[in-house]
A = this chain, B = another copy of it.
Amino acid sequence: MINETAYNLGSCRSCIRELFEYGRQRAEVVGADNVFDYSLGNPSIPAPKEVGEALEAILRDMDSLEIHGYTTAIGDLQTRQAIADDLSRRWGNVKAEELFLTCGAAPALTAVFHALACPEGEILAIAPYFPEYRPFAETAGLAFRVVPPDVPEFQIRLEAVEAMLTPRTVAVIINSPNNPSGRIYSRETLEKLGKLLKEKEEAYGHPIYIVSDEPYRELVYGGREVPCVRDIYPDTVVCYSYAKSLSLPGERIGYVYVPSCAREHQKLYAAIAGAARAMGHVCAPSLQQKLIARCAHLRPNLEAYDENRRLLCDGLRAMGYEVAEPEGAFYLFVKTPGENPEDFYQRAKEKDLLVVPGDGFGCPGYFRICYCVQREKIERSLPVFRILMEES
């Protein structure tokens, strides 16, 4: 009498989590120093010091009932206003009532997917994509269809998107800066995608939303631009989390932004609220809401990530690895050397170097490195990468 889908999702862990657990076990055997674990995107730079100061001030100055009490399901107005102000400074014209606070980006995405789930509905993802999109979409009742990757540029193969759009397509999910490629979709890419979707919207007579998953929006190197998707294509819904930008991954605080330029935005916002309610959303954690009300404007200090990025990217390229130019997030996406990728991953694992094969991201023949680790570990891992290349 137990739900099979839920059981399968609970008993077959994601390959990332499995590698991470394997790394922990190996650390007990050979010592944590000797495991080069590049598996998990867990921030390695601490939260900005203002975050700790703000938390202390809230606990010191505010009343316990106010700090820890229920907020409305959509989130404290003060918090939503602070986020709207921060977004408005960059994008212009974001209103508090367009925001719905969630327990991070994952429940933001599931609420949006459930809100868009109609019979026979389909959602397109662009490979490489974050693997959890698939169970999120399928559990919501949407068919999950994958657009093949645009190697080696990791933009979007628009002719493939065009061929896969159907009257049943309700949304396209994009993620830029991208996990796992570390690439940013250029303004040109997004404009072409927007133009295509607009044509199809007109042809099909219903909206096709872009669901823009943007947890890495603030993690960008070399002054590159992350275009505002809403301004390129109005039927956009943004999912965000403070996990990476404020190094608060465990705290579960994020939001959905449904801009009022999006078609049926009021109905969509209500459906997102209803879907969240049905999944047990009551409110985003209240202390973290108070924190974001004070810290929504903070930006991370990316110096450590940037150093890691250059060290790894330059180091691997010098050895002959083909590396997609890392523009954002904290991921490096590397072409697997040799004829047999499985063999490479196995050899890497035997040397306690843990990278995530691209298969789960819809992009076999590549692997992902999370460079949110200590620099010293990267330095010590480079010779291992060299040996792996020489053996390939």
A residues whose Cβ falls under 8 Å from a Cβ of B: 1-3, 5-11, 17, 40, 42-44, 46-47, 51-52, 55-56, 59, 63-65, 67-71, 73, 103-104, 106-111, 114-118, 121, 132, 135-136, 139, 170, 206-207, 247-252, 264, 267-289
- Across-interface contacts of A68 in B (CB, < 8 A): 47, 247-251
- Quick check: B135 and A264 within 8 Å, CB to CB? no
- Quick check: B252 and A252 within 8 Å, CB to CB? yes
CB distance from A257 to the nearest CB of B (A): 16
Closest to A55 in B: B59
- Quick check: B10 and A274 within 8 Å, CB to CB? yes
- Quick check: B279 and A139 within 8 Å, CB to CB? yes
- Quick check: A278 and B117 within 8 Å, CB to CB? no
- Across-interface contacts of A69 in B (CB, < 8 A): 42-43, 249-250
CB distance from A49 to the nearest CB of B (A): 9
Q: Which 4 A-B pairs have the closest CB atoms?
A: A250-B286, A10-B274, A9-B274, A107-B280
- Quick check: B2 and A267 within 8 Å, CB to CB? yes
Closest to A277 in B: B9
- Quick check: A65 and B43 within 8 Å, CB to CB? yes
Closest to A48 in B: B64
Q: How far is the CA of A355 from the CA of B308 in the complex (A)?
A: 60
- Quick check: A6 and B252 within 8 Å, CB to CB? no
Closest to A58 in B: B55
A274 and B11 in contact, given A2-B264, A6-B115 (Cβ under 8 angstroms): yes
Q: How far is the CA of A5 from the CA of B273 in the complex (A)?
A: 11
Q: How far is the CA of A251 from the CA of B288 in the complex (A)?
A: 8
| 9 residue pairs bridging A and B, Cβ less than 8 Å apart | A1-B118, A3-B275, A6-B272, A7-B267, A11-B270, A52-B59, A56-B59, A68-B249, A287-B287
- Across-interface contacts of A139 in B (CB, < 8 A): 278-279
Closest to A117 in B: B3
CB distance from A66 to the nearest CB of B (A): 9
- Quick check: B1 and A271 within 8 Å, CB to CB? no
A270 and B52 in contact, given A69-B42, A104-B282, A287-B251 (Cβ under 8 angstroms): no
CB distance from A158 to the nearest CB of B (A): 22
- Quick check: A136 and B280 within 8 Å, CB to CB? yes
- Across-interface contacts of A42 in B (CB, < 8 A): 69-70
- Quick check: B250 and A6 within 8 Å, CB to CB? no
- Across-interface contacts of A282 in B (CB, < 8 A): 104, 106, 249, 252
CB distance from A262 to the nearest CB of B (A): 11
- Across-interface contacts of A264 in B (CB, < 8 A): 2
Residue in B55, B269, B280 whose beta carbon sits within 8 Å of that of A279 in the complex? B280
CB distance from A255 to the nearest CB of B (A): 13
Closest to A114 in B: B6
- Across-interface contacts of A71 in B (CB, < 8 A): 250
Q: How far is the CA of A264 from the CA of B279 in the complex (A)?
A: 24
Closest to A253 in B: B285
Closest to A132 in B: B277
Q: How far is the CA of A209 from the CA of B55 in the complex (A)?
A: 41
- Across-interface contacts of A6 in B (CB, < 8 A): 114-115, 117, 271-272, 274-275, 278
- Across-interface contacts of A278 in B (CB, < 8 A): 5-6, 9, 110, 135-136, 139
- Quick check: B206 and A279 within 8 Å, CB to CB? no
Q: How far is the CA of A144 from the CA of B38 in the complex (A)?
A: 46
- Quick check: A47 and B70 within 8 Å, CB to CB? no
- Across-interface contacts of A64 in B (CB, < 8 A): 46-47, 51-52, 247
